[in-house]
Amino acid sequence: MSDPVPLGLVATARALAARELSSVELTGALLERIACANPVLNAFITVDPEVSLRQAAAADERIARGDAGPLTGVPVAHKDIFMARGWRTTCASRMLAGFVAPYDAHVIEQFDAAGAVNMGKLNMDEFAMGSSSESSFFGPVRNPWDITRVPGGSSGGSAAAVAAGLVPAATATDTGGSIRQPAALCGVSGLKPTYGLVSRYGMIAYASSLDQAGPIARNAEDLAVLMNLMAGHDRRDATSLARPAEDYRRDLQRTLKGLRVGLPRAYFADGMSPDVRAGVESAIAVLRRLGAEPVEVELPRVELALPAYYVIAPAEASSNLSRFDGVRYGHRAASYGDLADMYSRTRAEGFGPEVRRRILIGAFVLCHGYYDAYYLQAQRVRRLIAEDFASAFEQCDVIAGPTSPTVAFALGAHADDPLQMYLSDIYTIAPNLAGLPAMSIPCGFGVHGLPVGLQLVGNYFTEARMLGIAAAFQRETEWHLRAPAAMTP
């Protein structure tokens, strides 16, 4: 059974602009819905109704003056990895459980300037390390389609909040699939842009050469509007790309006639569950019916993406997380002997098991004697994978395949098997290593009535084309219109 479809981002913005409802009314209604659903879903870490309603009132004044932008008054929630001035910003870790951000991330600045309403900070895997949103210090997020199952990770709170109709859209981050995989498991749409397209300033780092911010929403049109706001050069981020502004909505009405859709043999080999395969193959049949031409392509070294990623990402994490030492901010052990003991106790208490595991792996692969054997080799593999994608894009315009090998698995199912957890990102990691844009859109339902996601991977800076393909698919199908049953107290 399903509820009526929650309003999407664009539909909400139109209703606000037409004065069919006020931002204060909408924000108040969503705060009530969050209060009812969050004890079940645990999607939000921090909610501040007073601040949200104050922002909503200011947005209503802007609308009344005729000074509104496309997102003025629209409620949006943010993954708790983005610094937001005056808001508790925890990265879902005990290490930062009481930290209040003193400044805004670039992404938060963009939403504030547009007049969007901040509905709160969303739960996630601790420091974005995970594939299920179970490693949070504040407890696991639950999938609104089945609360005994995971929503995916690390942006599980973002995907769950949008799927449950708690907000029309949410920000998220993707290091190895953390936007696309939870979007797939929760039946919503998510986009990881080209690396450098969205500023990482004020986004707490996990693996700096892989992390990228992006949006999660109900459909492609909503994602395009969010990308218009989020993308752009920021001089405070050395990896931010200086490119002319573009309208990511421009291809939303395009046809797919003549589009070449690459189908990598490696993505359709063993490992994909039968229900996911059926959903993905059905989606490809829809693309063919719309005029697209499936083309078999080779990504011969894509199977090396997983081991390369789990060398590079932990290595960068071990460096980035060294700043959390109990000296300047964050958790500090209550008792200790000397300075070294304080570091040791603080980090042992402040970080959860998965974060400690990845820090130790990263420190090992960067050690003298192991750097050349592991880290340097992984970086060489990374370049080869990027070259494989470049060759594939000579034969096709976009690559399609599964987002996740299975539908959402049960909470705790992989708690004692980290490798099995890592394998859930097997289809999503390679685009991060190459810095390519990739997205997931709903394409069906599998066993137990759980959502299946179709992944699209594009060449660099082809986000508008990918959004156009997704929009065409969503005009032809209704998977993105499905919503899980209402959360009740």
What ranges in 238-324 are assigned the alpha helix state H?
A: 274-289, 305-320
CA atoms within a 13 Å half-sphere pointing along the CA-CB vector of 360: 10
136 as an active site residue: the answer is no
End-to-end CA distance of the chain: 18
Which amino acid belongs to residue 4? P
DSSP 104: -
Residue pair 214/190 in contact by the 8 Å Cβ criterion: yes
Which residues are CB-contacts of 32 (< 8 A; sequence separation ≥ 6)? none
- Catalytic pick among 132, 178, 199, 440: 178
Kind and range of the H or E run holding 32: helix 23-41
440 as an active site residue: the answer is no
- Residue showing tokens 């003549």: 258
- Catalytic pick among 22, 23, 52, 79: 79
79 as an active site residue: the answer is yes
Residue pair 179/152 in contact by the 8 Å Cβ criterion: no
The rounded distance, in Å, linking the Cα atoms of 142 and 134 is 9
- Catalytic pick among 154, 404, 424, 440: 154
63-70: long-range contacts at Cβ-Cβ below 8 A with a sequence spacing of 24 or more? 63/16, 63/17, 63/19, 63/23, 68/16, 68/17, 68/115, 69/114, 69/115, 70/13, 70/114, 70/225, 70/228, 70/229
- Record the tokens describing residue 158, joined without a space: 């973002």
Which residues are CB-contacts of 220 (< 8 A; sequence separation ≥ 6)? 189, 252, 441, 467, 468, 470, 471, 474
Paired with 192 in beta bridges are 438
DSSP 268: G
- Residue showing tokens 């060759």: 391
Using DSSP bridges, classify how beta strands 398-402 and 451-458 pair: parallel, antiparallel or unpaired.
antiparallel
Phi, psi of 454 (to 5 degrees): -100, 125
Residue 253's CB is within 10 A of a number of other CB atoms, namely 10
Residue 334's CB is within 10 A of a number of other CB atoms, namely 8
What ranges in 298-456 are assigned the alpha helix state H?
A: 305-320, 339-350, 353-365, 377-392, 418-423, 429-434
Active site (catalytic) residues: 79, 154, 178
